[in-house]
């Protein structure tokens, strides 16, 4: 594990090497899933949309850059196939791991492209209640943005606003 992780390299072979490690913030079943995804074993599991958030979180926790990179590549390739809940879950995981990665940009663009996004900052308060009733089921406001870092939420809405402005400018030529 020290080959994959600067955390384990320092912890096990550094100047103050330790003989044991208590990991109380990760469940045993999650560690098992993690090990099955990154190491060759009889019960090896592939990286999937179901486990990528977990693998990314644990790899980030233990500073396993090659595993984080593999997860980010997987997420970038599969972003278009993620359902809303998985997209949100993976975006949260990537934002905690590497908020400035190109994968994060892909996820923000994907979140911003979800139909029915309500730009709260652009709607006058008196129309807000009326607009809330019109929100479609696919609206981003139904997602639990309270669990996502504020800068990511701001980036999603900024991207949505840019797209809206681009479309408005494109259509103004036809009027």
Taking only the tens of pLDDT, the chain with its 175 residues reads: 777 888 777 878 878 877 788 888 889 999 999 999 988 888 888 888 889 989 999 998 889 899 999 999 999 898 888 887 888 888 888 888 877 888 888 887 887 777 544 443 333 333 433 433 343 334 455 555 555 566 666 676 677 777 777 777 766 655 5
Which run of H or of E encompasses 57? Answer: helix 52-61
Asked if 112 and 159 touch (Cβ cutoff 8 Å), the reply is: yes
The pLDDT value given to residue 135: 36
The pLDDT value given to residue 171: 65
Asked if 129 and 73 touch (Cβ cutoff 8 Å), the reply is: no
The pLDDT value given to residue 131: 38
The pLDDT value given to residue 74: 92
Find all residues with CB under 8 Å of 4, minimum gap 6, and list them. 38, 64, 65, 66, 67
Taking the alpha carbons of 146, 84, 55, 109 in that order, is the dihedral positive or negative? negative
Question: What are the CA-CA distances from residue 81 to residues 7, 22, 49, 66, 86 (Å)?
Answer: 33, 37, 9, 24, 9
The pLDDT value given to residue 143: 53
Domain assignments of the chain as residue spans, ordered by start:
6-172
């Amino acid at each position: 594990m020290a080959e994959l992780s600067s955390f384990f390299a320092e912890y096990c072979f550094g100047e103050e090497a330790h003989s044991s490690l208590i990991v109380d913030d990760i469940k045993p079943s999650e560690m098992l899933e993690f090990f099955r995804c990154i190491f060759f074993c009889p019960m090896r599991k592939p990286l999937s949309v179901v486990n990528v958030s977990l693998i990314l979180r644990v790899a980030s926790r233990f500073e396993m850059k090659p595993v984080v990179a593999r997860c980010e590549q997987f997420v970038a390739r599969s972003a278009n196939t993620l359902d809303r809940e998985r997209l949100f879950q993976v975006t949260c995981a990537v934002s905690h791991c590497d908020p400035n990665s190109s994968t994060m940009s892909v996820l923000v663009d994907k979140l911003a492209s979800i139909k029915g996004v309500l730009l709260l900052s652009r709607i006058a308060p008196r129309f807000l209640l009326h607009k809330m009733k019109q929100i479609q089921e696919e609206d981003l406001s139904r997602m639990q943005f309270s669990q996502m870092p504020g800068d990511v939420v701001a980036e999603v809405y900024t991207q949505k606003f840019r797209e809206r402005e681009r479309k408005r400018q494109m259509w103004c030529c036809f009027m």
